[in-house]
Every structure is written in structure tokens, then in C-alpha cells.
Structure 1
Amino acid sequence: MLRSSLSLSTSDIMIESTHFSASYVGLVVLVLILLYHVYQDKSRRSAEIGNLPGPQSPSWLRGNFLQVFNSEAWGYHEFLAKEYGSMVRLHGPAGSKTLYTFDPKAMHNVLVKDQEVFEENDGFIQSNLLMWGDGLLGTLGHRHRKQRKMLNPVFSAAHMRGMIPSFFDVTHKLENALTMKLKSGSDIQEIDILSWMGRTALELIGQAGLGYSFDPLVGEESAHPYSNIIKQLVYVLNALYYDILVADDNIHASRPALMRVQFWRTNLLPRVCNIGTARFRRFVVNLLPWKDLHDLRDMADYMYETATGIYESKKQAFEEGDERVTQQIGGGKDLISILMKENMKATEEDRLEDSEVISQMKLSPLTLFCYTQLRLNWCKYLDFCGNGYNFGQFSAMARILHLLSRHPEVQDKLRDELIQARQKNGGQDLSYDDLVSLPYLDAICRETLRLYSPVPIVARIARKEAVIPLSKPVLGLDGTEMHQVAVPKGTNVIVSIFNSNRNTDLWGKDANEWKPERWLSPLPNSVIDARIPGVYSHLMTFIGGGRSCIGFKFSQLEMKVVMSILVEKFRFSPSAQDAATFWQMNGITAPVVGEDKHPQLPIRMSLAK
């Protein structure tokens, strides 16, 4: 009986063991099948990108990086669109996968519909967090949306109306300074208009944005050290992140430095930022023998101290009452005062912390100053390994004046419009509604921002696998039509604002010509039907989605106020060096003259009457 029981137990064990082995084998087979499908899916996604048309890579290490990013890259971007269309495969550094697109549906998918899938990379977020704090540029997801929710109403048309007096006050100071300069010398003088536009832009954001004055706009030099810090910061950042590529020989010479910077920022910075305490990291920075880094540290410290001082002063004024607030510059109608008022009324859930408000204050002078002078718009310019630090952008105001100097018939027509508008208003400065309704001034601003978008490209990185649909099928290398592209996690996606705004399929054969008159008639149906996902006038200049340029209305008003005063008062003509003037694309994207690579824009000026 015992032997029988033992025999049955052994038999049962053998059966159980057989079942376990079969189950184990089945599980292993199932896992292998799943892994195979995952591998196949990844291979298919990679194969889809590989099937897209695109240029060859000159180097595995660098990919097409230095073809896309150098001071004369405009022609290469035109080549990509003409040769390969609106969805292009590029080679990123070290073989990384990269897409380049200006397809309307693809842009909408990346920037709007799936914006939480396609975000800035960790290097971009961490570097902005270190430099500016936990403001818009250093946050993602819920925290970023919370800040946008609080900030969006600050830039409403109603608040813009309240800033008009400050805008005109600053611009008249500029007018007086330039008039005195012309009267003290010859009737016609060459003036570096880029420098004056930069000073004006900083003072405008100082008064209208922060309720603070940085520059009295008298004499050649600005008074407040903050203004010099802002200007120096642009060049230090450029040295840190781009090493200023200015000519073919220099491009080759600077490639090792450029790639080291990209490696540091993209691969090391997100990890280093999490090591130890902030005090320990500051200690390490102090030890590093890198002058530009130390300069950047000192500038960040100074901007933080200045922003904190302004914030505490405003906070005290609010505690003392409305009368004290109205006594400040801007009469309490500046952007930060409005933000602080709204923040005090917000619920606990929506309220921003003091550090978040101070971060916006640190950002405001730089972003809006650069948006209009060097157009350092935080719509961001790509650093190939994910939305990087090319802050240098065109001077929107200086660009308009440069174009008007080359097109005297347009300048005269605009001047006539401005003179007539002022006469109708009894010789007084125009109201907000009258100013924004001037058709020819508006057409000139729109056309300039279309053809010469201050930010040529922006980029995102796919945080997970996704599919990007296309509005126009692409013929793959294997001859098949591709209506969508499967994108693996980690793929860089470059959105070409430059080529979207110049797309001949939408804007017509004259898309590459500066024609303000195109905005005086209804736009082509092709433009309307394309549903460009930009926040401004069927253009991608200010991009779209949750990370679009939050201050574009401020910038528009600033341009129109400055143009309305300067064009009526002065006449602009090309300088003797105009033929040698070139607008660089990389690094500090700004005008240079001849071999002198310092940003400048000399224009001949005289009194118009």
C-alpha cells in the first residue's frame, strides 16, 4: 500500500513536472514571440524613416549637423525642400534618427495634437532650468501648463491697450535721441540701427514688462548694467553652445569644440544636474577652468538678484495699497504687476510660487529683447540634438528698416499712411485700435515675419513611439507612397519654419519674394486650406501648440509702435556697405558686414521733413 502510494506520488510529480516544463517552454516561446514582434515593429519604424528621401551623411559622427547649422545654411535648407520635399530624412550625430518637415499635418501632429509625445529634450530643459529657474523654459507637462494658464491672460489685447502709453513714451525717447544725433552732425548719417533697436527693445520690456527702466535712451551708451549683461549674455551663450561658426575654414576648425559642447549638453548635463546638492554643484562650477562658464554664472547671479529686487519692491507696493502701485513705472499696468495681481487672486492649485514668478521676470527681458533685437525668441532654435541654445535671431524691427531702406517706394507709401492716420487723430499718437488697423503697416510686418522668420527651425524629440500623418504623400525610396511615418522613440523631429513660410505649393511662385501687397488681398485658398498650425496669420513664425511664443502680441505691438514713429520722422536708405551686409543663420543670427563678424546694421538716416 505504501509502495503504491509512493508510486502514485512519483507519477504525479512526473506529470506535474511535465506540465511545468511545458508551461515554462510555452512562456519562453511567448516572450520570444513578443520580443520578435517588438523587434520587428522597431525595425519597421526605423525602416520607414530610412525609406524617406534625404541627403547622404558626410560623417557618421556629425551626420548632417554642420550642413544644417552654420552661418550660410540658408541655401542648404532651400536645397532640402527643393530636392526632397516636405518630409525629409536627415542623419543626426552618432547615427541618431532625425526627421525634417514642413508638412502642415505633420507639424500639427508634432506641435499640437501630440505635443506631449514630442517635447524638448532633457538637455534643453535642464540647461534652461539652471539658467532661468523653474519658469516656462525649464518645465514640462502639468507644471508648464499651469504657468501658461496663468500667463496667457496677461498678454491679452485688453492689457496690451493699457501699455500703449509706455510704448509711445519709450519710442519718443528713441526719436529724440536719433534726432539730436542727426542735428549734431551732417544731414545724412550712417547709424547702426541694430544697436538702437536693441536698446529700445530692452527699455520697452523693462517698462511695459517689468515696470522698471533699464536705459534712458540718451547718448551712445546705456546706463543700467543689466542692459549690458543681457547683450553680453547672448554672446557668452553663443560661445558656450555654438563656438560661432563664421566661415568655411572656421567651421572646420571649430567642429571638435562644437561636438564637445553638444555631447556635454545632451548627454552629461541632464545627469550632472542630479548629482549632490545645489551648493555642491556650484562648488564644482567654481573649480572648472572655463571662463565662459564663470561669466555665465556671474550673469545668472546678477539677473537673479535684479529680478528678486524688482519682485520684492512690487510685492511691498502691493502690500502698501493701490496708490503706491500706481506710482511705479508703468502705473502698475506692466506685465509682471498684472501677473502678480492675478496670482494673488488665483486658487491654491493654480497659484504660482514666488520662484516661478521671479523666473518669468528673469526670462522676460532676455526673451522679448532678443525677440525684437536679435530675435532671441523662446520659440527656440534647434540645437541639433534636441531644441537647443541658438538664441541669436533676426532683429525684427531692424530687418523691417533694412527692407524699407532697399524699397523706397514701400517706405514712402507707409509714411503717407502714417501721416494721414496721425492727421485724422489730431496730430496725436494713435490709439491701440487705430494702430493695429493700419493695413499697410500690418502688411509690412506680416510679410517680413513670413519671409524672414526670426526663428528658422524648432525641434522636438519623440518621448515614445508615434505615427506622424502627412497631408501630402511622399514617394519612398522603394517606390511606395507613404501617407504617414512611424517614428521610433528618441527620434529628433525638426520643424522648418523657414520652408513652411516659403512653401511655393501654398504661397505661390512668388513665395520667396518680399511683397507686402499680398496681405492686402485675400490669401490663396491653398494657404487657408492647409491649416497651418501656427498661432499667427497662417504662419509658423511663432509656432503653435502649448509651447508657442506666449509674447507674440507684445512683439507685434512693439514693432508697430516703433515703426509708426520712426518711419514718419526719418528717411532710411542703404549704407555704403549694404552690398556686404549678410544675415547670418547660425549662432547669433544677426546682420554682419563684410569680414567684421560683430552683429551690426548700418543704415543711412536723415530727417524726413
Structure 2
Amino acid sequence: MIENAALLTAFIKIACLIASFLVLNGTWTLYRNYTSPLWRLKGPARGNFFWGNQKEKTIPEWLNEYGRVLTHASFLRRPRLLLSDTKAVSHIVSHATVYPKDENLRYILGQLVGNGMIVAEGDEHKRQRRVMNPAFGNAHIKELIPIFFEKALQLRDTLNVQCANSDVGYRTNAIDWMTKTTLDIIGIAGFGYDFHALDTAQAGKSDLQLAFDAVGSAAAGRFRMVQAMIPIFRLIPTQNAAALRSAQKNMDSIGSSLLSEAKQMVALGEKVTNAGKDLFSLLVRANTATDLPAHQKLSDKDVVTQVPTFFVAGHETTASSLVWMMYALTRAPHVQEKLRQELLSVPTDTLSFDDLSALPYLDAVMREALRLHAPVIFTERVATKDDILPLSEPIEDRYGNILDSIRVQPGDLILVSNLGINTDPAIWGPDAHEFKPERWMVPRAGVTVSIPGVWSNIMSFWGGARGCIGFRFSILEAKAIAFTLYRSFKFELAVKHEELTSHHFVVQRPYLEKDIAAGPQLPIIVKPIV
């Protein structure tokens, strides 16, 4: 009895210490949130105590009302600096180690894609990227173009069959077809692994697709956001957490099998599928190169972790880009027709890299669609030391003071609005929010502002050392699919555009306002060109 009483007393003391720590830590967090110097900047009211301004989703309106620099409330009213000032953003992009992803965001992304290159920071990110760079170089991406066209033509033939069954056009959800096509492409081009997503005779989904779908479903949810923001809640066992661990285990198992196969083929000096040109095989080959120092090589675990990274980067983002391009072209039928005429002037169904790059209006449409509808519309970073963010022009704070820079402290959250920069009227002109591919045909004085993006003077693929490594893959893939579709079909919206809205989880997708629960949708009508 005495021993039990002693144990109980010790347990109570430990529990009290933990509770005291949590109370003190919570009190300090709230105090810091409420007294942050960032609140001197203009911005919206702080919103809900728990969610802050998170549910308001009015970033474009905030930028329009308060300017390119403002403060709003995130979770537990933690102040977050919102930026679309190009000079400040250039500073952040060029100091990637000072402004990494916040731990909370890394937790959420890590649940979805593991600790691969998307999540890694600092020297670990540099090490992973150094090994992966050869797979995403121009020379190798060019060799994947036949795969892009093979699947684009399969999509065309499938849609032709569907259209033959209707006299008024084939009504469908564009997201389904774009997702299937890019999934097949990343399967073959990324892993030498055929998903058969476009094969209507193929029943069900592949093991890798099922595993990734399961990870995505289990990693989503509001409580998962709470766990990200309040780490102690991660200790709470939930059914969702158990499902996530099981899905991640399946993903790791499949990744290990892919790695084993790639190693065997690399050891033989060739790869059965696509002559060893899939991205994963090239990664394994680069990682086993004899001239790569041992300390720079990735462990097998690190290599396997890149499987979901490839999956997201090469599948979700391109599908989103194609869907939003289709949305823009259905709202601008004259642009769609002009594009079609350029594509029909080409006598062949497949093109080389040089020929695909020699279609100026297709290139302009692609750039304009990605400018207006970036798959990733904002990027969050956190300051890790005291620093000063320079501004391209002075601003006025809440108290009438004029500032030409912003002081940040360790732990300050920063949200960069990629879309805000891409649609800033001061940069792009009064028609900044309009879909006008012609703006890319003739350089204009208003588009010469230096934007730190890795591609096309826009922020859709971020920039600097953390710029999207797969942007060349994504652009060429999207161009090949667009070339095939818009010379073969006319696309119309099947609903009024006012009925559509958008939501962002990993990438931005359209939804029907009245049927959000049904998932992402872009209802279209497909009509063959005769």
C-alpha cells in the first residue's frame, strides 16, 4: 500500500509539472501572439480566438484593401505577415536557410509526402536536391516527351469514344481525366510503373495509387491541423492516425520494392522500361555513382521517401494546372479558338521538344493560365533570426508611421501570396486579373518588374534554392496534353462560372459551391472537332 501511495504521489507530481509547463507555455504563447510588433502593420481584425482569420479566405481582398504588406491572425491569433511585395519576397527567396518552412507546416506535409525534398530543410535539402538534380535536367526531361504524347493520345481516343455516344457533347468532370492522365504519366516517366488509370478495361486502382490515396485521406482533416499547431495533441491516439500509419507503411513497402528493382536494373546497366530514363531510376543511378562522395549519398530510406514527393510534384500540380487552363479557356472561347488554329497548323500528332517549344500562342496560354491560376497560391515561411525585410516602396502602419522595411523576429510567420504577385496591377497593368495570353506575345514595360520566380517572371513555381525542381517536367507535360486536346475537341463549361469556387489543400482546385462535399469538380462539355 505504501509503495502504491508513493507511486501515485510521484505520478501526481509529474502530472502537475507537465500541466504547469503547458499552462506556462500556453500563457507565453498567447502573450507573444498578442504583443507581437507585427500588429503595428495594417490588416483585418484578428478574428476568431481559435482560428484567427483562417476561415475568411479573403487574401486577394486584403491585399487590395491594405496593400502588399499586412498582418492577419493565424491559429490562436498568432500574427502572420502577408506579403506580395517583390523586394521583400526576393529577400526571403534568396535567404532560404533563414526562412524555412514552419515546423507545423512541415508536420502536415511530412504526414502526406514523408520527409523527402519537399519537407527537408537546410543541408539535408541541399544534399537531397544535389542527387536529384540530374533526373530533372533538360536533357533527360526532353527524352520523356514521347511518354507525354503517348498518354495524351490515349486520353484523346478515350474521349472520342465517349463523345460518340452523345449528339450534344460529352458531359464530364475535367478533373477526373486530367488526374488520370497525369497519374499514368508520372507512373511511367517517374517510376517505370504503369497505373493504367486511362485504361477503361482496367478494374480498380494500382497498389501505389491506393496507398497514396489512403495517405492523403488520413493526413487531411481539421484535427490534423490542430495536431500540427499544438504538438502535444499528436500523442492522442485516433483511428485516423492508425489508418495513416498503415497507409504510410504500405507506401514505404511499395517504395522499397521500386528501389530494389531500380538497383537491380542499374547494376545491369540498363532498365527494361523506357531504357532506364524514368526519374526514379535516374535518381538511383546518380545516388550510386562512384564519383559521388559517400557523405553526399542518400540512404535507402531517403531514396524511398522521394516516391511520394515525385507522386505529388509530378501528378497533382500538373493536373491542377491543366484543369485551371481549361477553366480559363472555357471562359474565353475566342482564345480557345485562336489556340486551336495554331495547333491545327501542325501536321503531326506528336512533336519533338523543339517543335513543342516553337508554338508561341500555346506558350502564351500556358504562361497566362499559370499566372492567373497558380496551383500553389501561397507559400508559408518562418523567420529563424532577427532580420529586416526591405520593401519596394514605403508603407504606412496603423499609427501613421512610414516604413521602408519590416523588422522580423525568430518565430514570426510569413505568408507569401504567389497569386498576389502574379496579379498585382502595379506590375501587370489594370487588366492584371483578366485572362489575356497576348500580354506574353509582346514584352510590355509593365511586366519588367523583377519577380524572383524560377520560371517566366511569375511565382507559380516559387524561386531560388527552393524553386520547384520539376517545373520543366510539368510545363512540357502540360503542353503535350494541351496540344493534343485543343486540336481535337472544343470545351465548354457545363455550369455557370459563378457556381464554381476554389479550395486549397496541397494545390488549388475548383469545386461546385453548392456541392463542396462531392469533392473537386470542373463540369465540362466535350465536343469533337469535325
TM bin, normalised by shorter chain, reads 0.7 to 0.9
Residue of structure 2 in register with 1:552 after alignment: 471
Paired residues of 1:581 and 1:591 also in contact (CA < 8 A): no
1:61 CA drift (Å)? 3.6
Which of 358, 374, 387 is the equivalent residue of 1:437? 358
Residue of structure 2 in register with 1:55 after alignment: 44
Q: Which residue type is aligned with residue 399 of structure 1?
A: W
**2:195 maps to 1:214:** yes
Q: Which residue type is aligned with residue 548 of structure 1?
A: G
Alignment map for 1:268-279 (pairs within 5 Å): 268=231
Q: Deviations over 1:180-218 (max 9, x none)?
A: 222244451112211011011111111111111112512
Q: Deviations over 1:464-523 (max 9, x none)?
A: 221111111101223221011111211101101121111011111000111111110103
1:96 CA drift (Å)? 2.2
1:583 CA drift (Å)? 3.0
Q: Deviations over 1:109-147 (max 9, x none)?
A: 1222x2211111223334444554442133221111111
Name the stretch that deviates more: 216-225 or 436-445. Answer: 216-225
Name the stretch that deviates more: 534-543 or 346-355. Answer: 346-355
* Cα separation, 1, equivalents of 2:358 and 2:216: 34
* Cα separation, 2, equivalents of 1:211 and 1:333: 8
SS in 2 for 1:94: helix
Residue of structure 2 in register with 1:541 after alignment: 460
**2:263 maps to 1:315:** yes
SS in 2 for 1:99: strand
The 1:47/1:408 distance shift into structure 2, 3 A limit, reads: closer
Q: Which residue type is aligned with residue 257 of structure 2?
A: G
* Cα separation, 2, equivalents of 1:126 and 1:319: 36
Which of 107, 117, 125 is the equivalent residue of 2:106? 125
Q: Which residue type is aligned with residue 227 of structure 1?
A: Q
The 1:162/1:586 distance shift into structure 2, 3 A limit, reads: closer
Residue of structure 1 in register with 2:286 after alignment: 342
**2:158 maps to 1:196:** no
Residue of structure 1 in register with 2:447 after alignment: 527
Q: Deviations over 1:524-577 (max 9, x none)?
A: 3x432x3211111111111112222111111101110000111111121221x2
* Cα separation, 1, equivalents of 2:111 and 2:164: 47
Residue of structure 2 in register with 1:379 after alignment: none
Q: Deviations over 1:261-317 (max 9, x none)?
A: 444212316x96xxxxxxxxxxx88xx3x3332332222122211111111111112
Q: Deviations over 1:347-387 (max 9, x none)?
A: 223222211111112321133211122xxxxxxxxxxxxxx
Q: Which residue type is aligned with residue 344 of structure 2?
A: I
SS in 2 for 1:596: helix
Residue of structure 1 in register with 2:439 after alignment: 518
SS in 2 for 1:595: helix
Residue of structure 2 in register with 1:135 after alignment: 116
* Cα separation, 2, equivalents of 1:595 and 1:428: 39
Residue of structure 2 in register with 1:156 after alignment: 137
The 1:232/1:594 distance shift into structure 2, 3 A limit, reads: farther
**2:468 maps to 1:468:** no
1:176 CA drift (Å)? 1.6
Paired residues of 2:501 and 2:513 also in contact (CA < 8 A): no
SS in 2 for 1:455: coil
SS in 2 for 1:119: coil
Which of 79, 82, 101 is the equivalent residue of 1:97? 79
Q: Deviations over 1:210-265 (max 9, x none)?
A: 11111251228654243344345444433x2xxxxxxxxxxxxxxxxx4x544421
Q: Which runs of 4+ in 1 moved over 6 A?
A: none
Q: TM-score, normalised by structure 1?
A: 0.76
SS in 2 for 1:191: strand
Paired residues of 1:99 and 1:492 also in contact (CA < 8 A): yes
Alignment map for 1:161-560 (pairs within 5 Å): 161-186=142-167, 188-219=169-200, 223-238=205-220, 240=221, 258=222, 261-268=224-231, 288=237, 290-322=238-270, 325=271, 327-328=272-273, 330-345=274-289, 346-373=292-319, 395-421=320-346, 423=347, 427-524=348-445, 526-528=446-448, 530-560=449-479
SS in 2 for 1:600: coil
Q: Which residue type is aligned with residue 369 of structure 1?
A: H
Q: Which residue type is aligned with residue 398 of structure 1?
A: V
The 1:580/1:227 distance shift into structure 2, 3 A limit, reads: farther
Which of 555, 561, 579 is the equivalent residue of 2:480? 561
Q: Which residue type is aligned with residue 403 of structure 1?
A: A
1:399 CA drift (Å)? 1.6
Paired residues of 2:183 and 2:197 also in contact (CA < 8 A): no
Paired residues of 1:534 and 1:543 also in contact (CA < 8 A): yes
Unaligned runs of 5+ in 1: 1-41, 68-72, 241-257, 273-283, 374-394
SS in 2 for 1:349: helix
Paired residues of 1:215 and 1:227 also in contact (CA < 8 A): no
* Cα separation, 2, equivalents of 1:176 and 1:605: 13
The 1:62/1:437 distance shift into structure 2, 3 A limit, reads: same
1:171 CA drift (Å)? 1.4
Residue of structure 1 in register with 2:11 after alignment: none
* Cα separation, 2, equivalents of 1:438 and 1:49: 47
Q: TM-score, normalised by structure 2?
A: 0.87
Q: Which residue type is aligned with residue 146 of structure 1?
A: R
Greater RCO, CA 8 A, separation 6+: 1
The 1:538/1:336 distance shift into structure 2, 3 A limit, reads: same
**2:506 maps to 1:582:** no
SS in 1 for 2:55: helix
1:428 CA drift (Å)? 4.8
The 1:578/1:467 distance shift into structure 2, 3 A limit, reads: same
* Cα separation, 1, equivalents of 2:167 and 2:471: 38
SS in 2 for 1:606: strand
Paired residues of 1:105 and 1:469 also in contact (CA < 8 A): yes
The 1:132/1:476 distance shift into structure 2, 3 A limit, reads: closer
Paired residues of 2:102 and 2:380 also in contact (CA < 8 A): no
Identity %: 29
Paired residues of 2:69 and 2:84 also in contact (CA < 8 A): yes
* Cα separation, 1, equivalents of 2:306 and 2:174: 28
Paired residues of 1:205 and 1:368 also in contact (CA < 8 A): yes
SS in 2 for 1:585: strand
* Cα separation, 2, equivalents of 1:236 and 1:129: 12
SS in 2 for 1:59: coil
SS in 2 for 1:136: coil
